[in-house]
């Protein structure tokens, strides 16, 4: 009998618990859901504007890259020009320094300017004193220019650069020469420095790339537009031995 009463009580409690659970479940509020934004005209315009801005940024980067590349090329070209100018300036600077050093070592200039001695016989076989015709006219013109100024790019009559003087001198005897030293160094027949004659063109530097020229006037001497410091001078070959020589007459 006790067993039956206990079973009945347990059944009653079970039914009551189930009912309570169902009521709780029924009373639990439903979870809310997030409302998605409507895909309207304003949103579409915003997306389009963002895409346009992204595209413009890409174009800007591309243009900037092209500009940077052009600037790099310009810098490289400018550097080449500057390096060449520096090379020429350095050559002139060294020539000027050597000129000053030699001038300091000499108490006076040689008194021989218009006359040549028999010494030239061993140097060239011809001297200014024995030169006749075109050679004599050439030397006479060069001697008349002594003391005039050296000016880069000048061809006379009051100033010259080295190749301008040589060109002007030869024009006096009816010979047309190229304007620049590089071309003058290959204008005639290459001759040995041991077999020079009056009127031979002396050059410094490689033939075809010479940076300086002058004219041999016999007696182991040359006349040339040396540099801005000294102007047009007459010098011994030993002062600055040339690289080579060409003969054009």
**Nearest Cα to 210, choosing from 197, 196, 199, 224?**
224
- Among 63-67, 124-128, 217-221, top mean pLDDT goes to 217-221
Length of the chain, in residues? 249
Query: What band does 9 get if pLDDT is binned at 50, 70 and 90?
Result: very low
> What pLDDT, on a 0 to 100 scale, did the predictor assign at position 34?
55
Domain boundaries, the chain: 132-247
| Torsion angle (degrees, nearest 10) of CA 108, 99, 230, 162 | 130
Q: Is the pLDDT of residue 29 over 80?
A: no
Bridge partner residues of 222 (DSSP): 216, 235
Determine whether 96 is exposed, middle or buried from the number of CB atoms within 10 Å of its CB (0-12, 13-18, 19+): middle
Q: Is the pLDDT of residue 22 over 60?
A: no
C-alpha 106/C-alpha 10 separation (Å) is 139
> What pLDDT, on a 0 to 100 scale, did the predictor assign at position 103?
64
Q: Is the pLDDT of residue 109 over 60?
A: no
> What pLDDT, on a 0 to 100 scale, did the predictor assign at position 151?
97
| Mean local confidence (pLDDT), 59-78 | 82
Query: What band does 91 get if pLDDT is binned at 50, 70 and 90?
Result: confident
154 or 10, which is more confident: 154
Tokens linked to 140: 């006479």
Q: For the segment 154-167, what is each residue's pLDDT rounded down to a tens digit?
A: 999 999 999 999 99
In the chain, what percentage of residues exceed pLDDT 90? 46
Say if pTM beats, i.e. exceeds, 0.85.
Answer: no
Architecture of domain 132-247: Alpha-Beta Complex (3.90)
108 or 149, which is more confident: 149
> What pLDDT, on a 0 to 100 scale, did the predictor assign at position 106?
53
Q: Is the pLDDT of residue 201 over 70?
A: yes
Query: What band does 80 get if pLDDT is binned at 50, 70 and 90?
Result: confident
């Amino acid at each position: 009998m006790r067993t039956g009463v206990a079973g009945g009580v347990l059944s009653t409690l079970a039914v009551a618990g189930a009912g309570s659970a169902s009521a709780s479940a029924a009373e639990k509020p439903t979870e809310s859901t997030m409302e998605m934004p409507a895909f309207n005209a304003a949103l579409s315009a915003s997306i389009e504007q963002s895409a346009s801005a992204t595209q413009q940024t890409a174009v800007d980067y591309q243009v900037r890259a092209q500009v940077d590349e052009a600037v790099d090329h310009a810098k490289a070209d400018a550097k080449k020009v500057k390096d060449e100018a520096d090379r020429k300036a350095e050559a002139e600077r060294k020539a000027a320094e050597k000129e000053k050093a030699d001038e300091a070592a000499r108490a006076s200039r040689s008194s021989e300017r218009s006359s040549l001695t028999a010494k030239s016989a061993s140097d060239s076989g011809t001297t200014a004193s024995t030169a006749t015709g075109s050679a004599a006219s050439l030397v006479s013109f060069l001697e008349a220019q002594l003391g005039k100024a050296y000016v880069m790019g000048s061809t006379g009559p009051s100033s010259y650069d080295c190749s301008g003087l040589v060109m002007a001198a030869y024009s006096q005897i009816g010979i047309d020469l190229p304007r620049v030293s590089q071309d003058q160094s290959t204008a005639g027949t290459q001759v040995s420095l041991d077999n020079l004659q009056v009127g031979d063109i002396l050059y410094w530097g490689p033939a075809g790339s010479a940076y300086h020229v002058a004219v041999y006037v016999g007696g182991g001497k040359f006349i040339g537009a040396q540099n801005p410091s000294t102007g047009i001078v007459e010098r011994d070959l030993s002062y600055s031995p040339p690289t080579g020589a060409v003969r054009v007459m």
